[in-house]
Structure 1
Amino acid sequence: MRVSESFTKKIPWLVSLLFILLFVYAAVSKLLDFETFQIQLGQFSLLSAFADWISWGVIILEIFITLLLFFENTRLLGLYMSFFLMIIFTVYVFVILNFAAYVPCSCGGVLEALGWKEHLIFNGFLMVIALIGILIQRKQQYNLN
């Protein structure tokens, strides 16, 4: 029973570590091929007017969330932001799949190899993981009072 409690306490950190790795990897991949990232965002008609702002905004947001996740006192906020960012990415994928004439992939690195349906599954999995991290982190935070 003690091992289970010990492991449960580590879950928010493990979830945070997963998102830290994901967001750092994604941000660095986008920065390394920034021009392509901007062009691909610009190819989606709903985003084309804002591609410059969105491209920088996504990278900055990924790095910011990474910093929040790293520190215990901001971890819960970071988990919430990770969850909502994954919702936004999932809505983006859904809209691309269902309403875009051209389907650009503005992901970086290995994620570029995923198909769009695999992206939806991957994002859904990450949303569930983030939600688990949020629930456990909240419980731990509010039980400490």
Structure 2
Amino acid sequence: MIMKKSNTRIVEFISYFFILLFCYAGISKLTDFEKFREQISASPLLNGSSQFLPYILIIVEFLIAGLLCYRKTRTIGLIGSLFLMLIFTGYIAKLLSTSKNLPCSCGGILEKMSWNQHLYFNVGCVILSIIALSLNLKYSRPAE
């Protein structure tokens, strides 16, 4: 029982971290939306998708944050967090390996990180989401 409670707290803590991260990132992008849109259009990997992608990213970040707020939707939110962080991490890794000109469209404090720091941060977020998802799947089921 104690193990389940502590693991549930870990899932909650990681979920709160992602809620803060995605809300912060979404708000940062909204507050300087034109700059965000320009940075996406300047990306060598996203040059064809700059018209709708800024809107989609912001909506997805807020949607995942909302899903993480409730126990009933937390698993879906954690899966969304994992996939979004995998996409962001893969994007950064691809940019680092192929491009010299690296526009950052993250906003806020995340924009101040170097690309390597950002990659490590994202890998850490992927690991956190895997931990939270596995604990949530294990301990959110009713006891048998």
- TM-score band by shorter chain is over 0.9
Question: How many equivalent residue pairs?
Answer: 144
Residues 25-52 of structure 1: CA deviation (Å, up to 9, x unaligned): 0000000011011101111133122112
Where does the alignment leave 5 or more consecutive residues of structure 1 unmatched? none
Q: Distance in 2 between matches of 1:92 and 1:34?
A: 20
**Corresponding residue number in structure 2 for 1:34:** 33
Q: CA RMSD in A?
A: 1.5
CA contact 2:78–2:133 (8 Å) conserved in 1: yes
The answer for the alignment partner of 2:111 in structure 1 is 112
Alignment of 1:55-74 (within 5 A): 55-74=54-73
1:130 aligns with 2:126: no
Please report how far the alpha carbon of residue 144 of structure 1 lies from its aligned counterpart in structure 2 after TM superposition: 3.9
Residue identity matched to 1:126: C
TM-score, normalization by structure 1: 0.93
Letter in structure 2 aligned against 1:8: N
Say which SS state the counterpart of residue 140 (structure 2) adopts: helix
- Equivalent-residue separation in structure 2 for 1:99 and 1:143 (angstroms): 48
Q: Give, in angstroms, the shift of residue 80 of structure 1.
A: 0.8
Unaligned runs of 5+ in 2: none
- Cα distance in structure 1, aligned partners of 2:63 and 2:19: 10
